[in-house]
Amino acid sequence: MGKRYSELFRGVVEAVKERQGLIIINTGNGKGKTTAALGLGMRAWGQGFKVLVLQFIKGNWKYGELQAAARMGEDFVIRQLGEGFVRHAKDEALADHKDAAEDALLDARKEMMSGKWDMIILDEINYAIKFGLVSTEAVLALLEAKPQSLHLVLTGRDAQQAIIDQADLVTEMCVVKHPYKKGIPAQQGIEF
């Protein structure tokens, strides 16, 4: 039995070497889209993968995940490329958000093609589409260009159906209960 198990395990290891990169989407109105993506990234990092997180909306606020990534070293990198909250931005501020998101999309393509990363997380890219900072077509072109072995994770509410159609795995987080409803403000270590 030990020999059969050993042969079976060897087959699994060989299959893993021929990794099929997935397109994964975390969407929905519930909390945890970025958190789940970061957890997935941490799991990949634990397996020796190199992970890059490009944050399309988050700007210069100091989230807890930035401190964690700094401790993980050069194989788990988070880059904040956004200008912060965009929901109520007007005119010039909206133009700044759009420029930042377009630059982030260019960075994503460059990093995808570099061969340096095993997983790239495009955090809040669905928001960037929703708010008109980048087009659905530009993101679809990015997905089409994804190297075969690269895992690509997209987060944010309101994922477009065309993007969902290209994905291999889609998870929708839904709100069942949230502390905001009881007047409890954002908590350090939970929301940031």
Taking alpha carbons only, the member of 109, 105, 112, 38 closest to residue 78 is 38
Residue 35 CA to residue 123 CA, distance in Å, equals 10
Task: State pLDDT tens for residues 12-50.
Answer: 555 556 789 999 999 999 999 999 999 999 999 999 999
Q: What is the pLDDT of residue 90?
A: 67
> DSSP characters for the chain?
-HHHHHHHHHHHHHHHHS----EEEEESSSS-HHHHHHHHHHHHHHTT--EEEEESS--S---HHHHHHHHH-TTEEEEE-S-S--TT--HHHHHHHHHHHHHHHHHHHHHHHHS--SEEEEETHHHHHHTTSS-HHHHHHHHHT--TT-EEEEE-SS--HHHHHH-SEEEE---S--GGGGTPPP-TTTT-
Q: Write down all domains in the chain, each with its CATH number in brackets.
A: 19-182 (3.40.50.300)
Task: State pLDDT tens for residues 9-19.
Answer: 565 555 556 78
User: Any alpha helices (H) in 73-155, and if so which ranges?
Assistant: 91-114, 125-130, 136-144
Measured CA to CA in angstroms, residue 14 lies from 11, 44, 49 at distances of 5, 18, 17
Task: State pLDDT tens for residues 48-106.
Answer: 999 999 999 877 767 788 888 999 999 999 999 987 666 655 666 678 889 999 999 99
User: How many other C-beta atoms are found inside a 10 Å radius of the C-beta of residue 32?
Assistant: 13
Reported pTM: 0.85
Q: 160: pLDDT confidence band, cut at 50, 70 and 90?
A: very high
